Amino acid sequence: MTSEGNQIKLIGAWPSPFVLRVRIALNLKKLGYEMLEETFKKSELLLKSNPVYKKMPVLIHDGKPICESMIIVEYIDETWTSDGVSILPSDSYDRAIARFWTAYIDDKIPYAISKLRPMVRGSAEAESEAEKLVATLQVLDEAFEKCSKGQSFFGGGDIGYLDIALGSCVAWIKALEKMVEVKILIKEKIPGLVAWSERVCAHDAVREVMPETDKMVEFAKVLLSVMATTPAN
């Protein structure tokens, strides 16, 4: 890790897939940073650093806040360029395609996760929602085949922008499989993505920050309990 950790702070929480995106990008660039862990009660620093959306993650670099996970990933890629690691594709068309599929991921997957999370284990409703998520992943499985060009990752030979965007969701998907007793990462339906997910989780930049499935399940139970007792705004 570089010695810039005292200049880089990350406001976030370990279960958040959006925070995980930033942590993976920082690890790819071998950047040290201070993790400022949030709880269910939003800190004053978070509210001050992101007064518009009041959401994590927020990267603070030299005292200046940057918000929104994939904007932060792009900022990291453009700011630290000396190590030779590039997160965004070098080709402008490939960059556009990566951003397109990232927008698709953000439009579909977080919503699907939030729908499945509170459902009764093994219920027909849960099975139906899981099938919808699998259908979304089948579209991404086809995209992986095209974007990877026969290599290990969406980004080619190493993790890139789109790998970070989708890879950040893997922990929640695995947790849902166990929590709600549904099958999502089905090799027969999404063979490319299933193999890809194993490679992503084993990657040096991901392995130490990817939440364990059992830990995610326990967090999800706490989250559902908190949500049930918190009045709607």
pLDDT (tens, 9 = 90+) of the chain, 233 residues, equals 444 545 999 999 999 999 999 999 999 999 999 999 999 999 999 999 999 999 999 999 999 999 999 999 999 999 999 888 999 999 999 999 999 999 999 999 999 999 999 999 999 999 999 999 999 999 999 999 999 999 999 999 999 999 999 999 999 999 999 999 999 999 999 999 999 999 999 999 999 999 999 999 999 999 999 988 876 55
SS (H, E, C) 43-104: CHHHHHHCCCCCCCCEEEECCEEEECHHHHHHHHHHHCCCCCCCCCCCCHHHHHHHHHHHHH
What is the bridge-based pairing of β-strands 34-37 and 64-67? unpaired
Residue 169 has a pLDDT of 98
One fold for 4-79 and 92-220 = no
Give residues with Cβ within 8 angstroms of 80, minimum separation 6: 29, 31
Residue 158 has a pLDDT of 96
Judge contact between 29 and 61, C-beta under 8 A.
Answer: no
pTM of the model: 0.94
Enter the tokens of residue 155.
Answer: 């980004």
Judge contact between 177 and 185, C-beta under 8 A.
Answer: yes
Enter the tokens of residue 81.
Answer: 């360029």
Report domain extents, the chain: 4-79, 92-220
The yes/no answer on whether domain 4-79 falls in CATH 3.40.50.720 is no
User: In the CATH scheme, what is the code of domain 92-220?
Assistant: 1.20.1050.10
Residue 3 has a pLDDT of 47
